[in-house]
Structures are given as C-alpha cells and as structure tokens.
Amino acid sequence: MIYDQIKQITKIDLGWSGDEKYKIVTNDNKAYLLRIASEKNAPHYKEIFDLASQIKAPICAPIEYGECDMGTYTIFSWIDGEDAEGKVPTLDKDTQYALGVDAGKILREIHKIPAP
C-alpha cells in the first residue's frame, strides 16, 4: 500500500472540490496525488475511481482506493505541471487554442465510457 510508504506530504490548496488534496512522496521518491473526501461521498468516489481506470488519456491514473479516519481516500499518479487557471491566460492565442484542442480530445476519450 502506498499509504504506508509516505515520507513527505504537501497540502494542495487549489481546485474546486471540497476534498483535502495533497502531493505525497513515497520512500522510493515517487510522487502521487492523495485526495480525501468525507464519508458521505464514499460511494461516489469509488465510482469515480473505477471509471478513471477505463480512461485512455493522459490524466492522473488511479492507484489506490480505501477508507481512513477522515473518510475515503484515493491515490492517483502525479503529473508535474503548473495550474492551468493561472498559466493559460499568459500564453499566446495559438498555444491557448492548441491546449483547448488537446483538452477536447481528452474529453472525447472520457465521453466514450458508458455512463453508469
């Protein structure tokens, strides 16, 4: 279990969800995204975790799902980068357009998965 191998935790205060989010680094220096949600959202998060494993796109891959004292946790692979909300407006229009096209391709892959 990755949860047992954490050597460093950094809180992430970005994003729109009410989840607690952390970048974690394990003893072997691999980085992951840890999300912790309240118990009331547990069924919803298990479903998201299971659906994420079906997506064939460059997104954070699901690694581990479980329950802890704070609620439900999910661990995803970590993708280095910058927050798009602050970065995209600073880019030229052609780059912004290309990023939008790439995002559309990822959404197309996501929408190929049948809704539960």
74: exposed, middle or buried (Cβ count in 10 Å: 0-12, 13-18, 19+):
buried
For residues 97 and 13, give the distance between their C-alpha atoms in angstroms, rounded to a whole number: 27
- In the chain, the N- to C-terminal Cα span, in Å, equals 28
Q: Is the dihedral of CA 58, 72, 65, 4 positive or negative?
A: positive
pLDDT category at 3 given cuts 50, 70, 90 is low
Q: Is the pLDDT of residue 95 over 90?
A: yes
The answer to whether the pTM exceeds 0.85 is no
